[in-house]
């Protein structure tokens, strides 16, 4: 009898996680939220703790031929802090685990940690532990971040309701475009090692890819303004994919407007140069680590003038579906592409 074999690629990352989650039965009342959000939420008396883990693998998430080690260390922390930010919580501690091949010297590990320490300073978090092991397949970095919030301040993916306003921070698509430039210059260099990479024109997009910054500034400002987003997540896989997650978790639909989508001029120009559609980059580009959130209409006045928060659309009934209204006024269904690792 032949054993049944199902390819992970048939399920996809989210299908796999759903399947694993089905068999999980929560035993402890303090586990307020388990699998399925940007971070888990744990009851901790007068407040809650939030916990998130990410694993970065050489060859999948980063390429050491163009990712400087200090930037990589910073990014590994930032992507975890971003998941804590996405819960509207404040990060406090991290643990760092690394698997090293014999290619790495002490100097290389110290360069990586230079970025980790810089991120700890930048976000006000303490490095409190981790694990170190050998690797036969390249560098792996796994970071766990722990944050805190008052219970009523937590923003889950599931709280969006009809008529809420959809907001995004910063601008989108830069990290994807930056990656394309880095890949292009790598190929040029491989073909002719005497050629100097031409990256000066592209510092915003390559910077976003190599050293993204989690939007803790926004979380602090929302706190100061007394706004708790009705739902929130960070944009790691692409805006379209994240809208799907919020809609699914909240049981709602959404309409967004092309002319409201934020894109930096350098991202736009570079996308055009690369023969990519800038709006596709905004919708499906991953790794910008901006925040996508919904607010109740009553909070709009408080955020209306914020220079770095953009109001891209609104939440509708689930049956109304998920639509992008183009500049010409046509409504097209949003497709969630996102990043596919499998």
Residue 268 C-beta: closest distance to ligand ADP, Å: 26
Which H or E element spans position 207? Answer: helix 203-210
- By CB under 5 A, name the one of 83, 171, 213, 258 that touches Mg ion: 83
Give the Cα-Cα-Cα angle 300, 242, 282 (nearest 5 degrees): 85
Q: From ligand ADP, Mg ion, none, which one binds at residue 269 (CB under 5 to 8 Å depending on kind)?
A: none
Restricting to residues 209-238, name those near Mg ion by CB under 5 A. 234
Q: Which residues are 49's β-sheet partners? A: 42, 148
Which residues of the chain form contacts with ligand ADP (CB under 6 A)? 17, 20, 35-38, 54, 83, 236
Q: How far apart are the first and last CA of the chain?
A: 28
Q: Which is nearer to Mg ion, 52 or 267 (CB)?
A: 52
Residue 342 C-beta: closest distance to ligand ADP, Å: 13
Q: From ligand ADP, Mg ion, none, which one binds at residue 332 (CB under 5 to 8 Å depending on kind)?
A: none
Checking DSSP bridges between strand 322-325 and strand 252-257, what pairing results, if any? Answer: parallel
Residue 334, Cα to own-chain centre: how many angstroms?
A: 19
In angstroms, the CA 204 to CA 172 distance is 12
Q: From Mg ion, ligand ADP, none, which one binds at residue 17 (CB under 5 to 8 Å depending on kind)?
A: ligand ADP
Q: Which is nearer to ligand ADP, 36 or 207 (CB)?
A: 36
State the DSSP code for 45: T
Q: Which is nearer to ligand ADP, 153 or 236 (CB)?
A: 236
In angstroms, the CA 298 to CA 163 distance is 11
Residue 235 C-beta: closest distance to Mg ion, Å: 8
Determine contact, residues 40/81, Cβ cutoff 8 Å.
no
Residue 183 C-beta: closest distance to Mg ion, Å: 24
Q: From ligand ADP, Mg ion, none, which one binds at residue 55 (CB under 5 to 8 Å depending on kind)?
A: none
In angstroms, the CA 158 to CA 214 distance is 21
Q: Which is nearer to ligand ADP, 39 or 181 (CB)?
A: 39
Count other Cβ atoms within 10 Å, centred on residue 106: 7
Q: Which residues are 98's β-sheet partners? A: 132, 141
3-class secondary-structure state, position 99:
strand
Q: From ligand ADP, Mg ion, none, which one binds at residue 35 (CB under 5 to 8 Å depending on kind)?
A: ligand ADP
Residue 99 C-beta: closest distance to ligand ADP, Å: 17
- By CB under 5 A, name the one of 32, 37, 38, 244 that touches Mg ion: 38
Q: Which is nearer to Mg ion, 83 or 213 (CB)?
A: 83
Q: Which is nearer to Mg ion, 84 or 282 (CB)?
A: 84
**135 backbone dihedrals φ, ψ, rounded to 5°:** -135, 145
Return residues touching Mg ion (CB under 5 A).
Answer: 38, 83, 234
């Amino acid at each position: 009898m032949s054993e049944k074999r199902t390819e992970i690629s048939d399920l996809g990352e989210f299908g796999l996680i759903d399947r694993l989650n089905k068999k999980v039965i929560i035993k402890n009342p303090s586990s307020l939220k388990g699998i399925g959000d940007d971070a888990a939420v744990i009851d901790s008396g007068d407040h809650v703790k939030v916990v998130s883990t990410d694993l970065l693998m050489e060859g999948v998430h980063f390429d050491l031929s163009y990712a400087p080690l200090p930037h990589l260390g910073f990014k590994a922390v930032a992507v975890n802090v971003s998941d804590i930010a996405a819960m509207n919580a404040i990060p406090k501690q991290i643990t760092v685990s690394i698997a090293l091949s014999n290619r790495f010297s002490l100097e290389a590990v110290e360069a990586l940690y230079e970025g980790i320490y810089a991120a700890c300073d930048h976000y006000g978090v303490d490095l409190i532990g981790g694990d170190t092991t050998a690797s036969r397949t390249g560098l792996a970095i796994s970071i766990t971040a722990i944050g805190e919030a008052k219970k009523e301040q937590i923003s889950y993916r599931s709280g969006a309701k009809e008529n809420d306003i959809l907001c995004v921070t910063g601008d989108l698509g830069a990290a994807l475009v930056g990656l394309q430039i880095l890949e292009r210059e790598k190929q040029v260099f491989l073909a002719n090692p005497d050629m100097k990479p031409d990256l000066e024109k592209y510092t915003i997009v390559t910077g976003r890819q190599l050293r993204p910054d989690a939007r803790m500034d926004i979380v602090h400002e929302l706190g100061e303004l007394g706004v708790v987003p009705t739902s929130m997540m960070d944009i790691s896989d692409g805006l379209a994919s994240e809208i799907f997650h919020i809609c699914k978790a909240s049981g709602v639909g959404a309409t967004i407007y092309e002319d409201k989508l934020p894109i930096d001029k350098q991202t736009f120009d570079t996308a055009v140069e690369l023969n990519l559609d800038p709006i596709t980059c905004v919708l499906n580009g991953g790794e910008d680590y901006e925040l996508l959130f919904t607010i109740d209409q009553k909070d709009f006045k408080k955020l209306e003038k914020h220079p770095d928060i953009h109001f891209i659309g609104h939440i509708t009934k689930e049956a109304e579906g998920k639509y992008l209204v183009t500049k010409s006024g046509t409504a097209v269904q949003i497709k969630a592409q996102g990043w596919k690792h499998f």
